[in-house]
Structure 1
Amino acid sequence: MTKKHLFFCFLGPLVLRSNELIQKNRDRATSIIEALRAGAAVSHQDQTFLREIVEAYKVAEGKTDLTDHSLHDKILSRVDTVPPSLVLAQAAEESGWGTSRFAVEGNALFGMWTWYGEGIKPLKQRSGLGNYKIAVYETPLQSVIAYMHNLNTHQAYKKLRARRAELRMAGTKVTGWDLASTLTKYSERGQAYVDSLQTLIKVNMLQPIDDAYLDNGPTILLIPVGDVAKRMTSR
């Protein structure tokens, strides 16, 4: 199995799990919003949940009117999944297929910066940008979750959210290839960065994973065989 295959096999389930968590919140938020728009009674618990979503996804500041339709649209434009093919392509590009110093030392798969908290200082910081570091995470899953939240909340990626919402409204499939075209601000390379992502998606045939999901089937135990099994049993 090649380094690329190992990288995708390792990271793929984490991406799908992260999307599951987002989809769970989106489904509940959608249900509450539909009830509000229908004039139905909404429990205090559901109202609290929606307000927490508004705060967590930086939808609005201060006191908000939960019956405001424009607020609903903003919520649903942010609380949404990210095509797995795009996530895998960006992780490969940003972490050198998981081999970069930041990925190895801090599970930093997407090269996200931080000016607060824990992080790894680059060997050569860019002048004029402050004392920034590369954000670190306890697990790779936390890195994926943080990256998706960044795409869903940061002002720099509003084009991605707008394009995704547009595709949802039209009933069109949301693909990593399509959304990659909106990420000119993720890297100082601009369009060249977008081209790299789309090449990664195409060359590695990542498009099918946009339709993948985690199954609830029985646990499969991977049992060593052959020489590997002999070495393990002889210890």
Structure 2
Amino acid sequence: MRKLIYFFFSVVVLILVSCTYYQLHIEESRSTIEDKEPQGIPVAKAPDFKAFKRIEQKKRAFFDYLRPGIEYENSRTRKEREFLLNSKADIESGSLSQAEVEQLGELSMLYSVKIPVEGPDAEWLDKMLHKVDVLPEALVLIQAANESAWGTSRFAKDANNYFGQWCYQKGCGLVPLARGEGMAHEVAKFKSVQQSIHRYFVNINRNLAYRKLREIRYQLRAEGKDLSSPESAMQLTNGLTKYSERGMAYVKSLQAMIRHNQQYLQDDAVAAK
């Protein structure tokens, strides 16, 4: 009996240690994936947006500057989604190749959707498809314009941060001049603007705070709507109440900006095709 208890205790300890190691490995791998400098697109130096005398020129220059990086992230996301859909039959039949298992594991880490012990299943795939999807260019452009004051903010110029993204380790970014008493966050500093865009995509597609946005997007796709349209961007803003302390007032400001900048957004979308 004593030997049985000792054996049981040893197995429990081994499982706990293994789980701890696995979780640490997951976090380290996910950090590596997130922080990896995106490849395949030149990281251009930002124009001096304050130097533009005409607001129309500034807006066009701002949108033109960010659009290639947004398309790069959407292209990456489309490829990830296509891979998931192409793996559906193998997931359902339980005949995944080792290469598929490894890539699905990497995606599960990036999007924080834990794979069941038995392996990927239909429920897991559905959760992934809620997260792994494109973001309307208009939404990303307008949020960047709002958060960075059209590329003129201190955080955009000194930290490559166009989306007001925070971090919580001392020295990880720039300390806001108006940071409230007792608060310890900093505004994250990125190696490049492209990395800032990448982390924005990961944040929106993974963070629990933006689950409503992802549900709206999932429904729009189910209805056959064009997710790249300004109309879809307008719909998705309703899932961003937690992006700012201003809540619904923040959403209303984004919607007003989308309406006010329709000409530039549509002209830019046509020019990009």
Q: Same fold (TM over 0.5)?
A: yes
Residue 69 of structure 1: how far off its partner (Å) = 1.4
1-structure distance, mates of 2:94, 2:191: 42
Taking structure 1 as reference, are residues 57 and 89 closer, same or farther at Cα in structure 2, changes over 3 Å only?
same
Residue identity in the other structure for 1:149: V
Taking structure 1 as reference, are residues 43 and 82 closer, same or farther at Cα in structure 2, changes over 3 Å only?
same
Aligned residue number for residue 33 of structure 1: 88
Residue identity in the other structure for 1:82: L
Residue identity in the other structure for 1:183: L
Taking structure 1 as reference, are residues 196 and 105 closer, same or farther at Cα in structure 2, changes over 3 Å only?
same
1:140 is the counterpart of 2:193: yes
1-structure distance, mates of 2:112, 2:102: 15
Aligned length in residues: 212
**SS of equivalent to 1:60:** coil
Taking structure 1 as reference, are residues 163 and 212 closer, same or farther at Cα in structure 2, changes over 3 Å only?
farther
Aligned residue number for residue 5 of structure 1: 60
Aligned residue number for residue 236 of structure 2: 179
TM, length-normalised to structure 1: 0.83
1:195 is the counterpart of 2:252: yes
2-structure distance, mates of 1:17, 1:212: 17
User: Contact 2:214/2:239 (CA < 8 Å) preserved in 1?
Assistant: no
Deviations 1:8-41 (A, max 9, x none): 111111111111111111111211123322x263
1-structure distance, mates of 2:166, 2:98: 37
Q: Gaps spanning 5+ residues in structure 1: where?
A: 216-235
1:122 is the counterpart of 2:176: yes
Residue identity in the other structure for 1:184: T
Residue identity in the other structure for 1:166: Q
The partner residue of 2:213 within 160, 184, 188 is 160
Taking structure 1 as reference, are residues 33 and 95 closer, same or farther at Cα in structure 2, changes over 3 Å only?
same
Quick check: 165-174 or 150-159, which moved more? 165-174
**Comparing both structures, which one devotes a greater share of its residues to helix?**
2
- Structure 1's consecutive aligned runs of 4 or more residues displaced over 3 angstroms after TM superposition are 63-67, 206-215
Q: Gaps spanning 5+ residues in structure 2: where?
A: 1-55
Cα RMSD over matched residues?
2.1
Aligned residue number for residue 43 of structure 1: 97
Quick check: 176-185 or 205-214, which moved more? 205-214
Deviations 1:27-69 (A, max 9, x none): 11211123322x26321011111111111110127x5443421
TM, length-normalised to structure 2: 0.72
